[in-house]
Structure 1
């Protein structure tokens, strides 16, 4: 989930490189100026050599400008990431994501099957990857289905609130072949945050990268029944 090189790290490398280039640029100018002042009037610097030196100086200057532009782009990208993700707040979202927090006595997922399954098993794993509950999926037909876990383990125990759990689906057709499946988180986006230069959204008790979202729609407005005129109740 985390990029190998974060935006902050990249910006730091660019700044370090720019500092070194700027120092070399100043040194280059000082040496070139000293060379021009002290050259022999009867044997001036070869024009081709002088042109090559000027080209090198222009190259360093261009690299400094490039680094400045890259730094600006990184800063803009980070700001735009948060600003762009903020537009998702309040929308109903669907994300391919399998991890959520067990809270207030329940953990909620959805799952999608790519075809009708003869058998479908759901597994709930804890943060260490251990299967704490396993059982038949509530539906085995093609399409999207919801699953709510009450926190009870296969052994009859009960987990505490606050734990993070992951759901897996294992589906087979009548011939024993795998049926395509994916675990889904669905709900309203309630918040966004930046982590290591990437935008994350909160849906229910899950936090996931924006890149995991596969569908967005406007939140459905609540319907209010029409008022009954006075005297007609």
Structure 2
């Protein structure tokens, strides 16, 4: 599996690389100075070799400057991402996200069906991945539907899953959504996360944004 590179991990790698380059740079200068000091006057360092060594030294110095520039760019990117995401506060969002917290014994999701389904089964899993409830979806027609579960006797994060089939038993396109008003923005590991209802989800999962409506009621 390829490790995802975030701004934090990238900065860490740049810092490590800069430390190594700086150490090599100092070592190179020391060796070059010692070489010039102790060279045989009757057989001095070849000018071409000396020029090549100076070119290498300049390359190391340029890499150090490049690393500092990359760090500055990553830092600015993080601040810019937070400022940009903050513009979404107050808007109504729809995200492909299935995890939410139970509040007052309830948890609310939405689900979308790509076509009319003959069967549509919902499952709710707790944070340990165990199924704590399952049953038929209340609406099996094409489109987006809301679903509220009132069996959350224990606080925590729960995840909704859906499986839908047509009359021939063929699987239908279906996905779980989180919908609601964006009330906050946070940065985690260089990525912007939004607070939508009782969910905290990555900005990258948002598929729709709308101007906030005066009333944001949902049916289940």
Tell me by how many angstroms 1:110 deviates. Answer: 0.6
Q: 1:190 aligns with which of 158, 175, 183?
A: 183
What does 1:16-35 correspond to in 2, within 5 Å?
16-35=16-35
What does 1:92-131 correspond to in 2, within 5 Å?
92-131=92-131
Query: Per-residue CA shift, 1:97-136, capped at 9, x if unaligned?
Result: 1111111232111100001111112111222222222222
Tell me by how many angstroms 1:40 deviates. Answer: 4.5
Distance 1:20 1:120 in 2: 57
- Structure 2 gap ranges (5+): 216-220
The answer to whether the 8 A contact 1:104-1:161 is kept is no
Q: Secondary structure at the match of 1:123?
A: strand
Tell me by how many angstroms 1:38 deviates. Answer: 4.7
Distance 2:31 2:157 in 1: 62
The answer to whether the 8 A contact 1:103-1:161 is kept is no
Does residue 135 of structure 1 match 2:135? Answer: yes
Tell me by how many angstroms 1:42 deviates. Answer: 4.6
Distance 1:82 1:51 in 2: 47
Tell me by how many angstroms 1:167 deviates. Answer: 0.9
Distance 1:169 1:209 in 2: 21
Tell me by how many angstroms 1:39 deviates. Answer: 4.0
Q: 1:167 aligns with which of 160, 165, 172?
A: 160
What does 1:142-221 correspond to in 2, within 5 Å?
142-151=142-151, 159-221=152-214
Query: Per-residue CA shift, 1:193-223, capped at 9, x if unaligned?
Result: 112222111100011111111111211246x
Distance 1:168 1:136 in 2: 11
Tell me by how many angstroms 1:43 deviates. Answer: 3.5
Q: Secondary structure at the match of 1:160?
A: coil
What does 1:70-85 correspond to in 2, within 5 Å?
70-85=70-85
Give 1 or 2 for the bigger CA radius of gyration: 1
Tell me by how many angstroms 1:67 deviates. Answer: 1.2
Provide the aligned C-alpha RMSD in A.
Answer: 1.9
Query: Per-residue CA shift, 1:60-107, capped at 9, x if unaligned?
Result: 111111211221122122222222221111111000011111112321
Aligned to 1:89: 89
Number of aligned positions between the proteins: 213
- Structure 1 gap ranges (5+): 152-158, 223-233
Distance 1:121 1:12 in 2: 45
Tell me by how many angstroms 1:46 deviates. Answer: 1.4
Distance 1:21 1:128 in 2: 45
Tell me by how many angstroms 1:41 deviates. Answer: 4.8
TM-score normalised by the chain length of structure 2: 0.88
Distance 1:163 1:54 in 2: 61
